[in-house]
Amino acid sequence: MFETPDIYTLAGGTSEGLSKLGAFDNAILNAGVGNTNLIRLSSILPPKASFREKIIYPRGVLVPIAYGYITSDVKGETIAASVAIAVSVEDGFGVIMEYSGVTSARNAEETVRKMAEDAMKHRNIEIKEIKSVSSEHIVANIGCAFAAVPMWYSKLS
């Protein structure tokens, strides 16, 4: 059984690769989570989790993470990925939203912030703050844009 993570950060990265999987792998390396095993979450920030500017992960660990990404092999195409976290006033509970597409980082971030705000509205939860990050990449051959909310455990950092 998994413990509930109590710290989180924002991460983003972009890269090229020899394949779409290679571009994704290089982008997660660029984002600082590439030497871990990512366990994709369904986008809820646990109550009382605290933000850290950066988390250093031991190689090979299982990292709970919510993320969005896009890969493309269309030369010259602009791709972007973004995540946003709406954090509650009451206890720090939050909702994480992900968005990616053939778009700019600015548009992706604006879109995902609205999505996070809307998710909290439907839960009738007052928002304390919204944090977000985005990444943008112009494809040379095969590229990837990646944005994420990796989580971890304060007792292990």
Provide the residue-wise pLDDT of the chain in tens; the chain has 157 residues.
678 999 999 999 999 999 999 999 999 999 999 999 999 999 999 999 999 999 999 999 999 999 999 999 999 999 999 999 999 999 999 999 999 999 999 999 999 999 999 999 999 999 999 999 999 999 999 999 999 999 999 988 7
pTM of the model: 0.96
Q: Which of 10, 4, 96, 25 is nearest to 55 (CA)?
A: 10
Look up residue 56 and give its two tokens.
């250093």
Length of the chain: 157
Active site residue ranges: 37, 42-43, 98
Q: Which CATH architecture has domain 7-156?
A: 3-Layer(bba) Sandwich (3.50)
For residues 116 and 94, give the distance between their C-alpha atoms in angstroms, rounded to a whole number: 9
